[in-house]
A and B are shown apart, each in its own frame.
Chain A
Amino acid sequence: MRLRDVMRILDATVLTGEDKLDQEIEAACGCDLISDLLAFTRARMLVLTGLVTPQIIRAAEMMDLLGIVFVRGKKPTPEIVAMAAEAGIPVLCTSYPLYESAGLLFEAGLRGKCAWPCAEDDGGAATSASASASPSPGTRVDTSTGTDTGTSTGIGSDTDDKPHGARGGSCDAP
């Protein structure tokens, strides 16, 4: 799916990156927590988020993401858009809530690719003794963010979903 298709399906406006609308998106992820994004996404993905901060742009830049969609009608500040433009990351805005945006794209064939990127290949990595509490690799977070799900007809309705309500599992990419 191209970014242009995402734009059409979500009835989205483009704030920056018009020149990149023909880029092919391989998968998508919905994230309202920065570290979730860093943990679960792969390069060349699209992220849907209600988190309108400069940090989401920075994180997307670190991750080589192909685009950001701000959901629920949230509008980034001009500074945020400028930052995205400088980083070369297209920014789209839709009034659909997160859950519906994800559903619409999924229905249209865009899948998620939610996985631990290094789970398979870092098993033998050397670590210091002091860092003994190793997290279990291969763990997949559950998708029960509980956010947005109640707004089935609420285009543009802004459910007051605090990102921290989804501790440890807000990567709701399908």
Chain B
Amino acid sequence: MRLECKVTGGDFQAAGEAAAKLKRTLRQVGIDAETARRAAIVAYEAEMNIVIHAFRGVLSVDISPERIEIVADDEGPGIPDIPLAMQEGYSTAPEHIREMGFGAGLGLPNMKRYSDEFHIESTVGRGTNVRMVINLPSKGSLT
């Protein structure tokens, strides 16, 4: 099963809707609350990074009996120094973004912490691709 949502940079009104939709879908197909919560958190952080830092992008989710794969692919400025961006507390978010409660520099560390696999690739001037996998309990929660 696949889900795809467009995400628009700077659109704080719709921000978070893709992650919310993903969470509802996961619950509907019978994924347990704790796993759905982890998936929703990483999807939300990835979606917000597109809204805050990039121009536009797509959040897509593939759900199989074994795993949930979440990919956030954007067109944007890219990340020049990924190890630096991964550090807790590092943020380039401007003042008006911080006033909305973002810019703790915890988004990428959160994504890594809550997922079982975390991959990030970025090209300066082109965009960023974040791929995360959350494994499902081996019994297979999908019917």
Binding site for B on A (CB under 8 A): 32-36, 38-39, 43, 51, 53-56, 58-59, 61-64, 87, 116-119, 122, 125-128, 130-137, 139, 162-164, 167-168, 170
- The answer to whether A135 and B16 touch across the interface, beta carbons within 8 angstroms, is no
- The answer to whether B45 and A35 touch across the interface, beta carbons within 8 angstroms, is yes
A119 to B38: give the CA distance in the assembly, Å.
13
A154 to B18: give the CA distance in the assembly, Å.
40
- The answer to whether B37 and A64 touch across the interface, beta carbons within 8 angstroms, is yes
Residues of B within 8 Å of A, CB-based: how many?
A: 46
Q: List, sorted by A's number, 7 A–B pairs whose CB atoms are closer than 8 Å.
A: A38-B44, A54-B12, A64-B37, A125-B118, A127-B117, A164-B99, A168-B105
- The answer to whether B113 and A33 touch across the interface, beta carbons within 8 angstroms, is no
**Knowing A130-B120, A168-B105 touch, does A125 contact B40 (C-beta < 8 A)?**
no
**Knowing A131-B119, A164-B103 touch, does A62 contact B37 (C-beta < 8 A)?**
yes
A57 to B121: give the CA distance in the assembly, Å.
30
- The answer to whether A126 and B87 touch across the interface, beta carbons within 8 angstroms, is no
Please tell me which one of the listed residues A38, A61, A131, A164 contacts residue B45 in the complex, with CB atoms under 8 A apart: A38
- The answer to whether B20 and A58 touch across the interface, beta carbons within 8 angstroms, is yes
Q: Which of B50-78 contact A (CB under 8 A)?
A: none
Please tell me which one of the listed residues A59, A126, A164 contacts residue B98 in the complex, with CB atoms under 8 A apart: A164
**Knowing A35-B110, A61-B20, A63-B37 touch, does A168 contact B116 (C-beta < 8 A)?**
no
- The answer to whether A125 and B101 touch across the interface, beta carbons within 8 angstroms, is no
